[in-house]
Chain A
Amino acid sequence: MVAADDRGEEVVVDVQGEFCPVPIIEMAKAMKKISVGGTVLLRCTDPGAESDIPAWCKATGNEILSMVRQGGLIEARIRRTR
């Protein structure tokens, strides 16, 4: 479900097929493991993630760098800011 990419700066969290609140739980777990400034790339298919991710970032103070939806797949890149 979670894998670090080659650069070691970004953790990929692939939770396709999982639904609220699991994508956010997994993303938050990954976020705790990286340093401030690092990023998490979340891949999921929960359509509600498009509203969950901004809400979570607003509550936790982290930053959405990008969020793209292609078909049913949502990819969001979030930077840890604190």
Chain B
Amino acid sequence: MVEGSVTPKPGEGRPKAIGMISGGLDSSLAVRMMQSLGFEVKAVSFYTGFCITETHRRMGGRPRDGAIPRSEPLYAAAEAGVEVELVDISDEYVDIVTNPRFGYGANMNPCIDCRIFMMKKAKEIMEAEGAELVFTGEVLGQRPKSQRRDTLRLIERESGLEGRILRPLSGRHLPPTVAEKDGLIRREDLLSIKGRGRREQIRLAEKLGLLEYPQPAGGCCFLTDESYSRRFRDLIENRDTRRYTKDDVVLLATGRHFRIGPGEKLIVARTDGENLLLERYAKERWSLRALEHKGPLALCEGSPEHQVRHLASRIVARYGKGRDEKQVRIGWVRGEESFELHVEPFDDDALIEPYRL
């Protein structure tokens, strides 16, 4: 990699490049590389609605330590000194995640469709900004599905960005882009990183003075999380419309979830913070909790008949201080409606497991 080696077109200033940035190590490195090559970089980051940071902030902090997580793309752009644009694609994303043309990854992550969609948006920004290319921090072979050679090519073709997507970290392994063919960049300016290891990236980060970056397990997409995906799959499979709301996205990350009927689901809070959050999201749902014992708040979605109400009440009683009592009084409230049930708490977690999501 040669610093400042980019060759502007005659009569033009520094060429511009649009960088897809997550704030992780690879995309941060790609930004630094492109800056070093002499490009003016504009970073873009997309908001799909499945943002872990957003939900953790909504809950008052991360579950493990209560810390308020920072916005990694914003922080990375600020540290690199590049302009950043956050693009909200959450409304359009509903169709992608519920009906992906190229299927899901290991969980409910429609990574290929997602990348194609984001690249199409990046293309619009590239054209509006008069930029030469779009670049990413993708590394060939790093991810099993979305970063294979054939998939990278597919994403380029489907997004209408053939020859216009530069992956500088793996550039020497990939066909030359238009920028390279036009002489704007040289092959020797690109790197030849591939695979899942991070040793080369860490070495490069030290060289470029990039000292602080999130660990790779971080990520900001709930759809790559196994537990979240299981709940999300259940949700869209049990809705005729296969649609979800912003509230659903938050609730899927909150509490213990139980499928107690085809149209009924129970969410039981695990902490005081989740009790407060469920209170805020009760809205058209039933709220239920033990009336004479300390215990969690729970929400029940759908239109539960007596048998399902009884089942839900027994589960809620299991998680309260009255779990060892013979009978527990559970109060149900929805707007102006309310009623009580006297139930025997489940006395064994194994009896609850078949319902758990």
Q: Which of B43, B58, B82, B86 contacts A21 (CB 8 A)?
A: B86
* Minimal beta-carbon separation of A35 from chain B (angstroms): 18
Q: Which of A25, A46, A47, A55 contacts B77 (CB 8 A)?
A: A55
Q: How far is the CA of A20 from the CA of B250 in the complex (A)?
A: 13
Closest B residue to A82 using CB positions: B83
Q: How far is the CA of A54 from the CA of B71 in the complex (A)?
A: 11
When distances are taken between beta carbons in the complex, the residues of chain B under 8 Å from A46 are 57
Interface string of B54-93 (1 = CB under 8 A from A): 1101101000000011110111011001111111100000
Q: Which of A3-11, A58-66, A73-81 contacts B (4 or more CB under 8 A)?
A: A58-66
Interface residue? B333 (CB, 8 A): no
**Overall SS of chain B's interface:** mixed
* Minimal beta-carbon separation of B136 from chain A (angstroms): 18
Interface residue? A28 (CB, 8 A): yes
When distances are taken between beta carbons in the complex, the residues of chain A under 8 Å from B282 are none
Q: How far is the CA of A60 from the CA of B55 in the complex (A)?
A: 25
Q: How far is the CA of A20 from the CA of B183 in the complex (A)?
A: 40
- Size of B's binding interface in residues, CB under 8 A: 27
Q: State whether A60 touches B71 (Cβ < 8 A).
A: no
- Contact A24/B71 with A19-B54, A47-B57 known, Cβ cut-off 8 Å: yes
* Minimal beta-carbon separation of A33 from chain B (angstroms): 15
Q: State whether B78 touches A58 (Cβ < 8 A).
A: yes
- Contact A59/B68 with A20-B54, A25-B47, A52-B74 known, Cβ cut-off 8 Å: no
Residues of B within 8 A of A (CB): 43, 45, 47, 51, 53-55, 57-58, 60, 68-71, 73-75, 77-78, 81-88
